[in-house]
Amino acid sequence: MKIIDYVDILSALRKNKKIFIDGDVIITPLAKEAAKRHNIEIIKKEKKMRKEIIAGNWKMNNCLNESVELAKGIIDGIKELPDKRIVVLCPPFTSLYSVSQLVSQARDERKIQIFSGAQNMYFEDKGAFTGEISADMILSCGGSFVIIGHSERRKIFNETDDLINKKVKKAISKGLIAIVCVGETLEERENSKEFFVVKRQLKQGLKELDLNEITKVVIAYEPVWAIGTGRTATPDIAQKMHEFIRKQILEIFNSEVASEIPILYGGSVKASNIKGLMAEKDIDGVLVGGASLKPDEFLKIIFYEK
């Protein structure tokens, strides 16, 4: 239960004269009086107003022909989408152009919100960075999204919060939408450090972004202990972290940003658990790994309410 008090009204007065609230809120009498006196709008924003994003991360799977067939299988199963739902396919970079062509055609012909994205990028525009790809390269292949800071990049390739922040800023400056991943390991959770870790990742990863830039960011919470293990955070566990993330975004930016930013869940998502996850008020979509490699399974996730 959040309480809006006089201090919140003063903060809104210094910023944009609006307070966006989500969920159950108590507004103190003093706050109500101050809001009226200073013409501060208090707007209740529900989950249904946020976009839902169903993103498939294909990781290092599928050569070109396999990627094309997978994309076709998924696209063929999408005749239409709910207005607020977005589908994102993130194939290996070697297949991004071809998948983007199929996605673009489907978007134009069926008027559906389906896009392509990359799984990683570097923060420099060009140069002697063997094996890396730039934001411009992603855009030239038709990509609209890019996954940044995935736990596998953090763990296997030793990516730091500072490096991730540089990538996020570059992606946004080029016009890409950054799916910024955060999440704790099993050891960190068992030592009750999960909130500390995620707070650090958010604070450092989103450092120096302004109120316009943060609108180009999607957060993905992926508990490392649930990725590819078959273990999934229960809807209650996931919701608690998503709520915490939204509160951190409120502290870093403001209530409007916190109420609007999509927060996805990632970690052994499949058709059998998607409905329970999506029922939670702060879960706005999913970042799917293995299940996105099977058209029938991924389509069941996309249309989870059926």
**Cα(216)–Cα(64) distance, rounded to whole angstroms?**
29
Strand partners, 181: 220
pLDDT digits (tens, 9 = 90+) for 118-170: 999 999 999 999 999 999 999 999 999 999 999 999 999 999 999 999 999 99
Can you list the domains of the chain with their CATH numbers?
Answer: 1-44 (no CATH), 46-302 (3.20.20.70)
- Name the packing angle between helices 64-76 and 295-302 (round to 10°): 40
pLDDT attached to residue 121: 98
pLDDT attached to residue 200: 98
Residue 235 CA to its chain's centroid (Å): 17
**Cα(96)–Cα(172) distance, rounded to whole angstroms?**
19
Nearby residues of 267 by Cβ (< 8 Å), 6 or more positions away: 183, 222, 223, 225, 226, 227, 231, 232, 233
What is the DSSP track for 159-200?
A: --HHHHHHHHHHHHHHTPEEEEEE---HHHHHTT-HHHHHHH
Q: Which residues are catalytic?
A: 150, 222
pTM for the model: 0.85
Tell whether the model's pLDDT for residue 278 goes beyond 60. yes
